[in-house]
A = this chain, B = another copy of it.
Amino acid sequence: MGNTKEAIGMSSSVEWRIQVDDGSKEILVPESKNGFQRFLAALKGLIVNFTLKICNFFKKAWKIGVDDPRKVAHCLRVGVALCVVSLFYYMRPLYEGVGGNAIWAVMTVVVVFEYTVGATLYKSLNRICATGLAGFLAIGIHWVASQSGTKIEPFILGASVFLLASAATFSKFIPVVKARFDYGVTIFILTFSLVSVSGYRVEKLIDMAHQRLATIIIGTALCMVVAMVVYPIWAGEELHFLIIRNMDKVSDSLDCCVAVYFKADEANPNSDEACSKNLEAYKSALNSKGSEDAMANFARWEPAHGLFSFNHPWKQYLKVSSALRNCAYCIEALNSCLYAENNSNSCDIIKELALTIKTMTRSSTIDMSVIKLNDSVQLLHENLKSLSTLLIPEEGPQNTTDENEHKEPVLTVSLIEVIPLVSFASLLIDIAGRVEGLVQAVEGLAKLADFKPAAEEKPGLKSVN
């Protein structure tokens, strides 16, 4: 453990010196300099390095802004909304109108204003409803508690907070609640605790609850209006175009895949470059499930806009994208046909790798298993070869020894019958290649996490669940 850390520390300091040299080439560091000069040079290097990093950061940020100006627009909208809500502080009549509780309106704007209209509406409506409901409940329970004497009062209040907070937290684990009311539940717990607990000290509880609700409604209303009027970004539209883009990408990938496969022998470097970019395009369809789910969730809070009615079937978009991902999986398989690294016992190896991670020990047998895997791939190859000799008895390129087999009626096996077997076998061979990738990843983990070698007595390939 200690050794590893030291080694990492050493290598990073070496790397750091190289970067210093890289960043400030004008300084030639002499061998015979004193400690203070060394310190100065190092300091200068650090500063240059830091400045370079800051510059890179700003370059990246600038690129994000140029690539999608709507993101910049969103930031300006947030600034505008905050300034407008600040007016409640700066103008005396407004300030006194909400009884000095303008702070809640500012808070609401900061927390509720999101990138898309749908997300803003989701949070706004959740916040209003949850605040209203929780305030109502808390005042009711406070009234009951205040009727039962000052000694029991804190216990009733404490028990109600405990029970309701636990129950509400639990409800977040229910998928439907999580998807639609996650934020609302948090706000419910928050408001209930605040009103219920501060009811013990604050005299005018109803006034406070009422003002809190009023300021929250002001804040959310402002957010909803700004989100929908100033340069609106609709979650539904985003989802719509994301799925269209992904479909185009999958289609381009498939196109390229076929083109590359049939032109593999012709050398055409120009089209190849464009193609290799397109070949990877389908991956964006594989990776966008999370954002699609979120957008479909937000889209249903949005009113009718543009081409989309209020009841637009956003759920169906998820089915479309799921079907599209199904296609993309297959392109994944096709792609691996293109870059076939032909090298199966695959499932045993995966089990053993799981065991390696579970016990956090380096398996001593994994190398043997990989050799076995390669052997069985070899066997599979041999089998396919012998199958091919069965199909072509004369003029076959192989010199087979068992000549008597060639005379058997197996000759009537047609290629069309063995196609499923052949493609299955080649996919098995392909999986073996991927398993080797998995082996490498796990070995990288074992190295970085400093797994101990396994004890001599091998624990066997029992289930690791």
Contact = CB atoms under 8 A, between A and B. Distances in A.
Nearest to A246: B354
Grouping DSSP codes into helix (H, G, I), strand (E, B) and loop, the A interface class, with mixed when no group exceeds half, is helix
A165 B419 contact: no
A409 B91 CA distance: 95
Contacts of A193: 82, 86, 106, 110
A76 interface: yes
B398 A463 contact: no
A316 B173 contact: no
Contacts of A331: 431
Contacts of A415: 384-385, 387-388, 391-392, 415, 422
B312 A165 contact: no
Contact of A434 (B169, B194, B330, B346): B330
A61 B174 contact: yes
A247 B158 contact: no
B90 A158 contact: yes
Interface in A34-89: 57, 60-61, 64-65, 71-72, 74-76, 78-80, 82-83, 86, 89
A289 interface: yes
A329 B329 contact: yes
Nearest to A445: B316
Contact of A1 (B79, B107, B309, B313): B309
Contacts of A333: 329-330, 332-333, 427
A247 B449 contact: no
A350 B170 contact: no
Interface string A130-171: 000000000000000000000000100110011101110111
A323 interface: yes
A255 interface: yes
B423 A427 contact: yes
Contact of A330 (B197, B414, B431): B431
A194 B107 contact: yes
A414 B427 contact: no
11 contacts: A71-B170, A79-B165, A79-B166, A82-B161, A86-B193, A245-B465, A248-B464, A309-B450, A388-B416, A391-B392, A392-B415
Interface of A: 1, 5, 57, 60-61, 64-65, 71-72, 74-76, 78-80, 82-83, 86, 89-90, 95, 100, 102-103, 106-107, 110-111, 154, 157-158, 161-163, 165-167, 169-171, 173-174, 186, 189-190, 193-194, 197-198, 200-201, 240, 243-245, 247-248, 250-252, 254-255, 258, 261, 286-287, 289-290, 307-309, 311-313, 316-317, 319-320, 322-324, 326-327, 329-334, 336-337, 340, 346-348, 350-351, 353-354, 357-358, 360, 381, 384-385, 387-389, 391-392, 394-398, 411-416, 419-420, 422-428, 430-431, 434-435, 437-438, 440-442, 444-445, 448-450, 463-465
The 4 lowest CB-CB distance pairs between A and B, nearest first, are: A388-B415, A313-B448, A333-B333, A423-B423
